[in-house]
Chain A
Amino acid sequence: MTDIYLGADRATDAEAAAVDAALRARGVDPVVRPETERLYTSGTARRRERRHFLLPALHALQNEAGWISPGGINYVAEVLDVPPAEAFGVATFYDLFRTESPDHDGDTFHVCVDAACQIAGYDDLAASVRAAGGHVHLGPCLGQCERAPALFVQGSGGRPDYVPADDEPFELPQAGEESLRLLRRIGVADPESLESYLAHGGYEALGRAGEMGAEAVMAAVADSGLSGRGGAAFPTGVKWRAVAAETGRPKHVVANCDESEPGTFKDRIVMEQDPFAVIETMTIAGLATGAANGWIYIRGEYPLATGRLQGAIDAARAAGLLGEDAAGTGHDFDIAIWRGAGAYICGEETALFNSLEGFRGEPRNKPPFPTTHGLFGEPTAINNPETLLNVLDIVTEGPDAYRSRGTERSPGTKLLCLSGKVGRPGLYEVPFGTTLGDLLELAGGVAGNGELQAVLMGGAAGSFVGPDSLGLPLTLEDTRAAGTTLGSGVVMAFDTSDDMTDVVVRIAEFFRNESCGQCVPCRVGAVRQHETLVQMQRRGSLSPARRTLIDEMAEVMVDASICGLGHTAASAVRSALDLGLIASAPSR
C-alpha cells in the first residue's frame, strides 16, 4: 500500500532541480523518503514536518517552467508528502501560479487595473508592453499606487521577478523632515547596510528591550496605546500579552507583509527602505512574547522588499543579532521569509497562516484567535511592519513621549498612502489628528483638474468621502464617527473628471475575483453585487429595488461571512451610492 497515489506524469530534470534548490535553501533535504519511514511518521506529524514547504516548491516550479505542470505537482507531492489533489488545489488558489501550459515562453507582465492605475490609464501601459512583445496579465493592485500605472514582471525560465520602477531612484516626499518618526531613516540610512542602520540608531531599541525584560516591554507597548495599523486597530499590547501568557508550546511572531489592499504601499516602502527596522522589531516582539520563531509572509509581487529583508536577515544573523541568544538578550530568535503568490485574502491573518502552512489561503473561523491558535495551531503574535515599527520609539523613548504625538485615543503617527489625483503621490507620515485637507495640501493639493470629487479612504475595503470631509481629523475615533475608516492608510483622491462608476464597478469586480470562495455569502454575494453594478452601469440607472437588493446583499455579507473580506466587500460600493457618486436614481 502506498500512502500517496501519483499519476504517470514525471517532472523534467529542470523542474526537479528547481524544487530541490528551493528546498535546500530552506534546509530541507529533497529526497523521497522510503515508504516505511513515511508510514511510521504519518498523519499530523508528517504534515507538520514538510507541508509548509509547498508554497516555496510551487514558486520554484512556476519560475522554472512558466507553469506548474502535472509532473511538477507529482514531484512536489512525492518529496513533500502532499496528496497531488491538494497540491493542485493550493496551486490553483493563487494568481501567480498557472496550471495550464503557457502559450508564450517569456516573462509575464502584470499590469494593475485597480483604482489608482485605472485613473492613471493602465491601458496605455498594457498596450506599450504588448507592442514590445510582452505577455500582459491584467490583475489586481500591485502596491505601487504612488507610481501608477504599475507593472510587475514575473520571471520565467529561472529568470527572477522584478519591478521596472525599482530601477528609478527612490524619493520620499518628506525626506529629512525632523517630524518624521517611523520614516526617519528612509533616504538617510543605507537599507542594504547593517553598519549604516547601526549608525542611525539601529538596534538601540533591542538593547534597551533586553535590559527592560519582556514584561516591561509589553507594559510599555500596552501603555503606549499602540493599535494595529492594518485596518482592524486591535491593541498590540493586548495581543502580545495574550501570546506571552501561553506556555508549553512553540510560539511564533509573524510579520504580515502581505499588503494587498488596493491603494496601499506603505509596508512595501518600509520594507524596501528600512528592512533592518522590521527585523529588529520582530526580534523585540519575540523577546516580549517568548516566541523563538519569526516568519515574514510577504506578497509575491514585492521582489525588492523580499531581497532587502533577506539581506537584512543574513546580515543580522552573521552579526549575532538573530539566532541563538539573539543580540545577547539571552533569547533565541530567528526569521524565515515565505512568499505569497497573488491572493488578497492571504493578508487576512488566519488565511495567511493556512497559506504559509501549505494549505489553501482560506480564512479560519474565529474564535479561536491567533494568540492561542495561530501558525501551526500555536500561539502567534501577528503584526504588520508599520505596527511593528512603532515599537522602536515606544521602547527607546517610553510610552509617555510616544503619546505626546497624535491624540488621546489615537496616539502616535500614521503612515498614509497618497495616490490618485494629488500633486505629489507617495508615502507620508503625520501625527494622528491631522485633517484630511491638510494631508492633501501636504501632498501637493488636488491635481488633475484641481476639483476634488471624492477621496477613497482605507482602500477597496474602506469607503469614499466627499469634498465636505476635508476637515475630518484623521484619527481612529473621528473616522469611525464619520462612518469611514483609516483602514490600511489609503488616501486616494479623484477629481471631477474621473468616472466614479468605472471605479466602483472595478472595486466590486476586485472582491468578486479575490473572494476565496469558502463561504456562501461572500462567494456568491460578491458576484451578485458586481453583476448588479454592471447592470446599473449599462442601464445608466439603478432602480429602487436594485438599490434595496445591494443593501440586502451587503447585510448578509457583513453578518454571515467568515472573514473581513466579506464583511467589507460592500463598504465602498454603498458609500459611493450614499454620496451620489454613482447612478443612484432612475432619473440619472
Chain B
Amino acid sequence: MTDTTITETAVTITIDGQPVEVAEGSTIHAACVEAGIDTPTLCWAENLTPVNVCRVCVVELEGSRALVPSCSRPAEEGMVVQTDTPRVRHSRRMVLEFLGSGVDLSQADDLHHWMKAYGADPDRYGDEDHPVERVEEPVKVQDELYIRDYSKCVLCYKCVEACGDDAQHTFAIAVAGRGFDARISTEFDVTLPDSACVYCGNCVGVCPTGALQFKTEYDLREVGEWRPEDQTVTRTVCSYCGVGCNLDLHVQDERIVKVTSPSDHSVTSGHLCIKGRFGWQYVHGE
C-alpha cells in the first residue's frame, strides 16, 4: 500500500558514488530504479515476492564478501553499492552465458540486449566431441489454452510463485528434481487437466522466456505468423463480473491473440482468472 498517511522513514545509500534516498524497507534494486540505473532482472517481478535465484541482478556491496542480489536485499542506511564493477559485470555475464548454454533463450526478449551488453557467449562451452548438457524436452501441448516448453525454462520460479502464495493459491506446480535436472512439474508430471490447475494463466503472465505460452501465440509462431510489431494493445475492463479487472487485449490481424493485465493495476496486480485471461472467443463470435 503506497497510499498511506503514515510517515515513512527514509534511508540513504550510495550507488555508484551517487546518494539515493528510498523508503525504509525498499530493496537495493528499487534504489537503483530510483537512481535511474538500469539493472538486469529475470526472476524478479514487481507483482511477486523476490526469490533471488537467478543472480543476474547482483551488485557489489561494501563489506560483503560475496555479491548480493539487489532484488531482495533491503537498502540499509549508509550502504555503499557498486553496480558496474568488473566483478559485477563478470557475474552478470556468466549467469547469462550459463543460461544461454543450457536452455533456449530465443524468445527471452528482455535478456537479449543484456547478453550483448555484457558480452555473454553461451557457445564457448563444450566442443564438437563434448557437447554440453542442455535442457531438451518435448513441448507439452495438453489443451487449447496454453503450452509448456521446458527447454526454454530458466527455472526462475515465477510461475510457481504465481500459482502459489503470490497470487492464485492453487499450488498445481512446484519445482521437482534437483540440480540441473530440476523442472517445474505437477505431481508425477500428470497433465494439467489432471492436476489442480484452474487455468488462470497467471503462470503464463509472469513467464519471462516463452516457456509458458498462450496456445494462440504458440500456433502462430509454429507457422511463422507471430508478428509482435503488427500487434496493437487495447486496454479494457473485463466484462465477466463486477471486480473490474483491467485487460490488455493483444490484437493481431483483428483477432485477439493473447490477454494480459498491467502488473501495476490496483485490482489485479497483473493476475487474472480463466475468464479474463482466456475467455475472449465470444468476441469473434465463436
List the A residue with the shortest CB-CB distance to B157: A518
Complexed CA–CA distance, A88 and B176 (Å): 7
- Contacting residues, chain A, for B54 (C-beta < 8 A): 519-520
List the B residue with the shortest CB-CB distance to A42: B169
The answer to whether A534 touches B130, judged by C-beta atoms less than 8 angstroms apart, is yes
Complexed CA–CA distance, A84 and B185 (Å): 11
The answer to whether B55 touches A520, judged by C-beta atoms less than 8 angstroms apart, is yes
Interface residues of B in 67-86 (CB under 8 A from A): 67, 69, 72-73
Q: Does A17 contact B (CB under 8 A)?
A: no
Q: Does A239 contact B (CB under 8 A)?
A: no
Do A85 and B187 contact each other (CB < 8 Å), given the known contacts A559-B67, A560-B67?
yes
Q: Does B280 contact A (CB under 8 A)?
A: no
Q: Does A357 contact B (CB under 8 A)?
A: no
Q: Does B98 contact A (CB under 8 A)?
A: yes
Complexed CA–CA distance, A523 and B124 (Å): 18
Q: Does A527 contact B (CB under 8 A)?
A: yes
Q: Does A380 contact B (CB under 8 A)?
A: no
Q: Does B109 contact A (CB under 8 A)?
A: no
Q: Which of A87, A517, A538 has the most CB of B within 10 A?
A: A517
Do A89 and B185 contact each other (CB < 8 Å), given the known contacts A365-B72, A520-B95, A531-B132?
yes
| Per-residue contact bits, chain B 173-197, to A (CB 8 Å; 1 contact, 0 not) | 1111111111001111010001110
Complexed CA–CA distance, A373 and B190 (Å): 36
The answer to whether A88 touches B94, judged by C-beta atoms less than 8 angstroms apart, is no
A89 to nearest B CB, angstroms? 3
- Contacting residues, chain B, for A127 (C-beta < 8 A): none
A402 to nearest B CB, angstroms? 29
The answer to whether B55 touches A524, judged by C-beta atoms less than 8 angstroms apart, is no
- Contacting residues, chain B, for A514 (C-beta < 8 A): 179
Complexed CA–CA distance, A73 and B176 (Å): 14
- Contacting residues, chain B, for A87 (C-beta < 8 A): 187
The answer to whether B91 touches A343, judged by C-beta atoms less than 8 angstroms apart, is no
Q: Does B139 contact A (CB under 8 A)?
A: no
Q: Does B276 contact A (CB under 8 A)?
A: no
Q: Does A347 contact B (CB under 8 A)?
A: no
Q: Does B23 contact A (CB under 8 A)?
A: no
- Contacting residues, chain B, for A59 (C-beta < 8 A): none
Complexed CA–CA distance, A13 and B31 (Å): 57
The answer to whether A524 touches B52, judged by C-beta atoms less than 8 angstroms apart, is no
A359 to nearest B CB, angstroms? 10
- Contacting residues, chain B, for A519 (C-beta < 8 A): 53-55
The answer to whether B175 touches A360, judged by C-beta atoms less than 8 angstroms apart, is yes
The answer to whether B171 touches A85, judged by C-beta atoms less than 8 angstroms apart, is yes
Q: Does B247 contact A (CB under 8 A)?
A: no
- A-B contact number at CB 8 A: 165
B280 to nearest A CB, angstroms? 25
Do A70 and B188 contact each other (CB < 8 Å), given the known contacts A5-B196, A517-B175, A524-B98?
yes
Do A524 and B180 contact each other (CB < 8 Å), given the known contacts A89-B175, A99-B188, A556-B95?
yes
The answer to whether A552 touches B94, judged by C-beta atoms less than 8 angstroms apart, is yes
Interface residues of A in 137-168 (CB under 8 A from B): none
B72 to nearest A CB, angstroms? 6
The answer to whether A521 touches B178, judged by C-beta atoms less than 8 angstroms apart, is no
Complexed CA–CA distance, A549 and B122 (Å): 12
- Contacting residues, chain A, for B207 (C-beta < 8 A): none
B50 to nearest A CB, angstroms? 9
Secondary structure class of chain A's binding surface, majority of residues: helix
- Contacting residues, chain A, for B130 (C-beta < 8 A): 531, 534-535, 538
List the B residue with the shortest CB-CB distance to A44: B165
The answer to whether B179 touches A85, judged by C-beta atoms less than 8 angstroms apart, is no
Complexed CA–CA distance, A343 and B178 (Å): 10
Do A523 and B155 contact each other (CB < 8 Å), given the known contacts A88-B187, A89-B185, A93-B178?
yes
The answer to whether A86 touches B66, judged by C-beta atoms less than 8 angstroms apart, is no
- Contacting residues, chain B, for A559 (C-beta < 8 A): 58, 66-67, 87, 90-91
Do A512 and B58 contact each other (CB < 8 Å), given the known contacts A89-B185, A521-B94, A531-B125?
no
Q: Which of B101, B174, B194 is in CB contact (< 8 Å) with A89?
A: B174
The answer to whether B188 touches A86, judged by C-beta atoms less than 8 angstroms apart, is no
Interface residues of A in 66-95 (CB under 8 A from B): 70, 73, 83-89, 92-93
- Contacting residues, chain B, for A562 (C-beta < 8 A): 52-53, 55
B119 to nearest A CB, angstroms? 12
The answer to whether A556 touches B194, judged by C-beta atoms less than 8 angstroms apart, is no
Q: Does B264 contact A (CB under 8 A)?
A: no
The answer to whether B155 touches A528, judged by C-beta atoms less than 8 angstroms apart, is no
Complexed CA–CA distance, A92 and B174 (Å): 11
| Per-residue contact bits, chain A 493-528, to B (CB 8 Å; 1 contact, 0 not) | 000000000000000000011111111110111111
- Contacting residues, chain B, for A512 (C-beta < 8 A): 179-180
Q: Which of A83, A85, A514 has the most CB of B within 10 A?
A: A85
| Per-residue contact bits, chain B 45-61, to A (CB 8 Å; 1 contact, 0 not) | 00000001111101000
Complexed CA–CA distance, A556 and B190 (Å): 36
Q: Which of B132, B176, B186 is in CB contact (< 8 Å) with A528?
A: B132
The answer to whether A525 touches B185, judged by C-beta atoms less than 8 angstroms apart, is no
- Contacting residues, chain B, for A520 (C-beta < 8 A): 53-56, 95, 98-99, 154-155
Q: Does B219 contact A (CB under 8 A)?
A: no
Complexed CA–CA distance, A560 and B66 (Å): 7
| Per-residue contact bits, chain B 236-267, to A (CB 8 Å; 1 contact, 0 not) | 00000000000000000000000000000000
User: 5 nearest interchain CB pairs?
Assistant: A83-B171, A89-B174, A517-B182, A5-B196, A524-B98
The contact sample of 16 A-B pairs, CB cut-off 8 A, is A5-B172, A7-B195, A83-B171, A83-B172, A88-B186, A343-B178, A517-B177, A517-B181, A517-B182, A521-B98, A523-B98, A523-B180, A538-B130, A552-B90, A553-B94, A556-B91
Other contacts beyond A518-B182, A520-B154, A560-B94: 17, CB < 8 A: A7-B190, A85-B176, A85-B185, A85-B195, A360-B174, A520-B53, A520-B56, A521-B98, A523-B180, A524-B102, A526-B180, A527-B133, A555-B91, A556-B95, A559-B66, A562-B53, A562-B55
